Structure 1
């Protein structure tokens, strides 16, 4: 293994539209998600270091459909007691108009986020993983089903108990509804 961090994705279904702005939470602290054979939670403060970097807002994790970014000020991120809050000014592009139309009809699937976990950024207790530091790369508006709470084939990280290194594997994650 090269040691490069693998991009992972998780999702939440809380968002609202107001004018050409989309707001909500891209992640919630303390909510449990069942990811294959393990349970995962996000600790408060996990996104703190990511708030100073350039984070993209995408449509369905598609790098060709940029909706905004923190560097330009069209995406604003903050942590509060609930999780990673966002406010996104939707562009007047085909993707932006599609998102706005779907949001107004309440047809969007939710929010998701793509991230890496730096060395020491997670901890394990048996089959429970806690994300303590997240290298946030992007948040995504998801048109259909987010990575969880529904079932999806996705790249997940799994702790390797024998040598304390993480190995990466493609697994079928059957995820229970962690966020109600």
Structure 2
């Protein structure tokens, strides 16, 4: 149902991001926590659907991909990589957990300081969908999407959502295969008019 070619980014407020300060000489600074918790409903995305991540959604990526940790999604500020194990990612029963050994440079130290102070308290991840499932929740008049298998390529500590609402265009929603509330309302009104006309003709 999804447009598998579209890159998607999700921002989540982290319950906590841990900081680690090396004790000995040459020990690096680090941060750790959860990128996302499994089966927890997201905030309403673009005003149209909720989202959950199923356990196992990242397993294929963890086996096949080189995944980068970026500072606020900036590819010129790399914090770590699974290629050399400065970024470690793994699924446990709660969610996708990360550990980053921060680089000994200006943005690594800035990242540590910002997380330690609590200025940066969110995580975001960039992915493409391989498999998902949709359910229409009639009582709430919204869809709920479950991510079953995603192609994960980056994670980012970030203070802000990675995209503004203005980026959620009508085309984007149609690409996901869902109708908006306005479209559903218009369709309902059209059907009511047709029923009224049939009643008159009858």
2: CA distance, partners of 1:64 / 1:105? 23
Q: Which moved more, 1:46-55 or 1:102-111?
A: 102-111
- Secondary structure in structure 1 of the residue aligned to 2:104: coil
Contact 2:4 2:129 in 1 (8 A): no
The size of the alignment, in residue pairs, is 154
Q: Secondary structure at the match of 2:112?
A: helix
Task: Identify if the C-alpha distance between structure 1 residues 154 and 69 changes in structure 2 by more than 3 Å, giving closer, same or farther.
Answer: farther
User: Normalised by the size of structure 1, how large is the TM-score?
Assistant: 0.79
Q: More displaced, 153-162 or 68-77?
A: 153-162
5+ residue gaps, structure 2: 22-28, 137-142, 180-202
Higher helix share: 2
Alpha-carbon RMSD across the aligned residues, in angstroms, is 2.0
Gaps of 5+ in 1: 163-180
2:38 corresponds to: 29
Q: Is the 1:16–1:23 contact (alpha carbons within 8 Å) kept by the matching residues of 2?
A: yes
Instruction: Report the secondary structure of 2:66's partner residue.
Output: coil
Q: Which has the larger radius of gyration?
A: 2
> CA shift at 1:18, angstroms?
1.0
Aligned partner (choices 4, 17, 20) of residue 19 of structure 2 = 17
Once the two structures are TM-superposed, the CA of residue 152 in structure 1 deviates from its matched residue by: 3.4
CA–CA distance in 2 between the matches of 1:130 and 1:81? 17
